[in-house]
Amino acid sequence: MNILHIHTSLQGGGIEAMICGLANEMVKTNNVVVCTIFKPQNTDVFQNKIDTRVQCLSLNKTKQGFSLKEIFKIVALISKNKYDVVHIHGSFYYYFLAILLFHKRIKFFYTVHSDAFMECSYWDRKILWLKRFCFRRGWIKAITISPDSQLSFKKLYNSKSKLIYNGVPKPLISTPNILSQYKINKATKVFLHAGRISKPKNQFVLCKVFRRLIDEGHDIVLVIAGGCQDMSIYKSISTYFSERIHYIGEKSNVIDYMADADAMCLPSLWEGLPITLLEAFSIGCISICTPVGGIKNIIEDGVNGLLSASSNEDDYYNAMKRYLELSSKQIEALRRAAFESFAKFDIKNVSKEYLDFYSE
């Protein structure tokens, strides 16, 4: 098959990892193109994260905001290439004209990478009636990434979707003991938060919880890794930065940090199915999470990770306290169960599910 994956941009985060992972697997047996609408700010994505057999394109949009030009560029791209499958990753409004023109000869797929209400952008809401129509007529087939995501899609569009969980490749650890530089002493427990500085990731509550625990005398350190998407949130959490709370920016080798962490913190307000959680499974890293989105569908509290009662400060604080009270035997059991949970989310298996769905 000739497959086109198209997304607004590949600027880090879970959607980027998912698209790269799918492309790298699918190109083993298919012709695969990955296209971005916005001009890449960091060519490292194309050069280092995508298999050289995958053709990489960009429409080179540079200005933010709505533009008719890109809608017609997408029509031209699809018109002159013989794609069997066009797989869209969000921002329906860029693609509606291509779907209307080519749905009879090309299979269109659309992955909802989050809660359907949350991922429906401003411009998507402007043409929500058309989006619903295309889903209901089967002109574009929807894929959701968790039972919660699927339920939200049903509520918003009154249409069915195919449930396929996200996936990640088995990792290679290139830099062991990468977090040792942040330890105060040998007994210090180092926790990692991997996520862009943004409202849904709830970093303000995370920092407040760690400040409480540090003030109580716990020998712990928090390392925050991720690009800054919201400067106002960054300013609010920067007051907490110290020798025990560090912000290290975006890292291309975040899996190395995860492999060396005592646990990973995900205090999110909302999620689809976080790629970072699946990466944590792949190396047996314990995750301390809030019960939002697809997280609560794959984390069994006290078995393969820990779930707080909610996303508020006190509940996440209590979840952290529970972790700190675990024995070494309990921690080892959690790590083992987390690693055993990974097989379902191996990108090889996930890619096969996608290809089977394309072929139906």
Do 90 and 194 belong to one domain? no
Whether residue 169 is contained in a domain is answered as: no
Q: Which amino acid is at 188?
A: T
Q: Which is higher by pLDDT, 43 or 156?
A: 156
Whether residue 359 is contained in a domain is answered as: no
| pLDDT value of residue 46 | 59
| pLDDT value of residue 181 | 96
Q: Which is higher by pLDDT, 229 or 10?
A: 229
Per-residue pLDDT at 12 exceeds 70: no
Task: Judge whether 278 and 255 are in contact, CB under 8 Å.
Answer: no
d(CA 202, CA 188) in angstroms, rounded, equals 24
Whether residue 355 is contained in a domain is answered as: no
Whether residue 53 is contained in a domain is answered as: yes
Do 157 and 303 belong to one domain? no
137, 163, 189 - which closes a domain = 163
Average pLDDT, the chain: 94
163, 188, 220 - which closes a domain = 163
Do 186 and 116 belong to one domain? no
| pLDDT value of residue 197 | 96
Q: Using 50, 70 and 90 to split pLDDT, how confident is the model at 118?
A: confident
Whether residue 174 is contained in a domain is answered as: no
What's 155's domain CATH number? 3.40.50.2000
Task: Judge whether 39 and 62 are in contact, CB under 8 Å.
Answer: yes
Whether residue 360 is contained in a domain is answered as: no
Helical spans, DSSP H, in the chain: 14-26, 44, 68-80, 96-102, 116-119, 122-126, 128-137, 147-157, 203-215, 231-238, 254-260, 275-282, 295-298, 313-324, 328-340, 347-359
Q: How far is CA 116 from the centre of its chain?
A: 15
130, 163, 196 - which closes a domain = 163
How many distinct structural domains can be found in the chain? Answer: 2
* Helix 128-137 with 147-157: angle, nearest 10 deg: 110
The boundaries of the domain holding residue 53 are: 2-163
Whether residue 231 is contained in a domain is answered as: yes
Do 195 and 336 belong to one domain? yes
Query: Can you tell me the mean pLDDT for 157-183?
Result: 93
Do 55 and 97 belong to one domain? yes
Do 185 and 330 belong to one domain? yes
Do 217 and 135 belong to one domain? no
Query: Can you tell me the mean pLDDT for 133-145?
Result: 96
Query: Can you tell me the mean pLDDT for 9-38?
Result: 89
| pLDDT value of residue 67 | 85
Do 133 and 45 belong to one domain? yes
Do 186 and 303 belong to one domain? yes
Per-residue pLDDT at 45 exceeds 60: no
Query: Can you tell me the mean pLDDT for 67-92?
Result: 94
Whether residue 214 is contained in a domain is answered as: yes
Do 201 and 341 belong to one domain? yes
Q: Using 50, 70 and 90 to split pLDDT, how confident is the model at 183?
A: very high
Do 184 and 307 belong to one domain? yes
Q: Using 50, 70 and 90 to split pLDDT, how confident is the model at 114?
A: confident
Do 157 and 212 belong to one domain? no
pLDDT per residue over 286-337, tens digit each?
999 999 988 999 999 999 999 999 999 999 999 999 999 999 999 999 999 9
